[in-house]
Structure 1
Amino acid sequence: MKIVFNEATTLQNSTLKNDLDLCEKHGYDGIEIRLDKLKEFLASYTVDDLKQFFASHRLKPYAFNALEFITFRDEEGFGQIRRDLQFLCEIGQQIGCKTVIAVPTFDVGDYTKAEIKAETVRVLRELAELSEPYGVKIALEFCGYPNCSVNTFAQAYEIVKEVDSGQVGLVLDCFHFHAMNSRLEDLQAADPKDIFVFHMDDCEDLPVGALRDHHRVWPGDGAIDLDGILRTLQAIGYNEMASIELFRPEYWQWEAEETIQTGKAKMENVLRRYFEIERV
């Protein structure tokens, strides 16, 4: 199992350059690069600098995070989504980053589930058509909030199966899985090849529909049935990667190195019950 760092975990207390150096120092296998931190990095460095870093270090890029609110956009809004994807694909091709995460839109109004499915399938097919020549795949991340148009594992997986392309898969995030009561039975029926990214996190014990990003806590410190999720992933044969992704303001007040060190230790402590982790 690869151990990966998602830059949301140090959103306000670090930069991409700093995250790269610290993740390498503390033995991560991969990093999910945030689009905003990437643009900030490129104000002072070049894509070649990034390419050279990955070529000369153990740490590798795993995914770009994220294209946000991809569905039900007007022409101008979707044009920006396409431009951002083109930008990420061109960089991804150079540095070896093969996945872009895409987030569905919130607060879409009174669209039916069938209409949401049709729109999301259409958009994912269009994005995959753009990314395929670069060897880059699209990972749909459902969000466990009542106002997200795609908010359960089952709904997201139905969409991915309808797209019916090896170019499009899922992000499984423990927080989002728990937050709207996604079912382990649906995960048990999934093909592990359709899970492109696995986000690990935990959260406070709030009612269904009440959880938000700031309620996330370190894996093992909260109310999520991580054992159930990990046991199910083990049973279906998933053994690719796990990425620590938290948006907790409390942790952003820490020194970035402490955050990165703690995230790895907390994640590995839970993962070791079910998966072998390469020792650095």
Structure 2
Amino acid sequence: MKIGFNEGCNRFCDNHSVLRDLELCQEYGFDYIDIQSECLDRDLENGKVTLEQLGEWFKENHLSMLSYNALKPFNMRQTEEEKQEVMSQLDEIIRRCLILDCKMIVVVPNENISVHATRKEIREDAVTVLNEMVKKVEPYGIKLSIEFCGSPGMTINRFDDAYAIVQEVDSPLVGVTLDQYHFHSMASDWSTLEKADGKKIFVWHVNDTEDIPCGAPYNTDEKRLWPGDSQGCLDHQRFADTLKKIGFEGDCCTVEVFRPEYYELTQEENVRTAAKATSSHVEQYWK
């Protein structure tokens, strides 16, 4: 099992730099990186780096980009202008992915929408949008991975709904991002995961979390912990055993946390700590 680093872990560390993340991730043993769009946009706007420089770095080193994280929000846009904005955003991300040799785009659902949409309506909208998106990524073999987000305001906030959407789209290019925190925080159904086709899970985010009631307004990303933290409550053994059983083929887990105290570390301390925690996690649960 290879390991990956998501820049959500350190995006607010002092003087954060995407290029420095690449160097540190390679130095401390990561195989992959999920580049966060906020980090990349910030560095491009500030002139810290160009896409071409990052692309050349990847060509010259063994660290690879697992996913572009993320296009958001991809669904439940209400006007034609808003819908076209999603497709324009996708066009730009595809352009970037081709430069960075990235074959995966994570797509994140809308939240706190003004219309009182039913789950059925949300699913139908997502299927329609994803079918259009597939037409754009198919010529390049780029995959789309839906990241359901375990927050009450999210339109797709449980694994069950995300997986149903993926099944209906029925494309080898569309799958699910399984984030352990998100799965737990809105009490996704284990039985659905246990019956799922593991090949449809494209990205696996490992982390832990404080034992906060599911759906509580204060159960936010800030409660996440490094995997293996003694304060954590997630059933790591069950996640690992289930993924093995259903045929998960990703061959990689990516650490993703958004804890404010971790942002107080230096960028190097953050990456080093993340690498140690993720390696230990794999050694313990993925044998």
Q: TM-score range by the shorter chain?
A: over 0.9
Measure how far apart 1:71 and its partner are. 1.3
Superposed, 1:13-24 pairs within 5 Å as: 13=13, 14-24=16-26
- State the SS of the aligned residue for 2:121: helix
Measure how far apart 1:24 and its partner are. 1.1
- State the SS of the aligned residue for 2:29: coil
Contact 2:199–2:247 (Cα < 8 Å) also in 1: no
Please name the residue that 1:236 is paired with.
246
Measure how far apart 1:39 and its partner are. 2.3
Can you list the C-alpha shifts for 1:85-124, whole angstroms capped at 9, x where unaligned? 1112112123220000001111233211111110011111
Measure how far apart 1:25 and its partner are. 0.8
d(CA) in 2 for partners of 1:85 and 1:244?
25
d(CA) in 2 for partners of 1:3 and 1:149?
29
Contact 1:230–1:271 (Cα < 8 Å) also in 2: no
Measure how far apart 1:217 and its partner are. 0.8
| Identity value in percent | 37
Contact 2:160–2:192 (Cα < 8 Å) also in 1: yes
Please name the residue that 1:249 is paired with.
260
Question: Does residue 1:49 correspond to 2:53, yes or no?
Answer: yes
d(CA) in 2 for partners of 1:78 and 1:18?
35
Contact 1:93–1:135 (Cα < 8 Å) also in 2: no
Question: With structure 1 as the length reference, what TM-score do the two structures score?
Answer: 0.94
**Counterpart amino acid of 1:132?**
E
Q: Structure 1 residues 60 and 249 mapped into 2: Cα distance closer, same or farther (>3 Å)?
A: same
Can you list the C-alpha shifts for 1:36-58, whole angstroms capped at 9, x where unaligned? 22223333433221121111111
d(CA) in 1 for partners of 2:207 and 2:25?
18
Contact 1:184–1:229 (Cα < 8 Å) also in 2: no
Aligned-residue Cα RMSD (Å) equals 1.4
**Counterpart amino acid of 2:41?**
K
Measure how far apart 1:83 and its partner are. 2.1
- Higher mean displacement: 217-226 or 153-162: 217-226
**Counterpart amino acid of 2:226?**
W
Superposed, 1:59-78 pairs within 5 Å as: 59-73=63-77, 74-78=79-83
d(CA) in 2 for partners of 1:275 and 1:140?
24
**Counterpart amino acid of 2:97?**
G
Can you list the C-alpha shifts for 1:53-100, whole angstroms capped at 9, x where unaligned? 111111111100011121121333333322221112112123220000
Q: Which residue, out of 193, 204, 212, partners 2:220?
A: 212
Please name the residue that 1:270 is paired with.
281
**Counterpart amino acid of 1:215?**
K
Measure how far apart 1:21 and its partner are. 1.0
Contact 2:221–2:258 (Cα < 8 Å) also in 1: yes
- State the SS of the aligned residue for 1:273: helix
Please name the residue that 2:3 is paired with.
3
**Counterpart amino acid of 1:236?**
I
d(CA) in 2 for partners of 1:183 and 1:271?
24
Q: Which runs of 5+ in 1 are unaligned?
A: none
Please name the residue that 1:128 is paired with.
134
Contact 1:150–1:156 (Cα < 8 Å) also in 2: yes
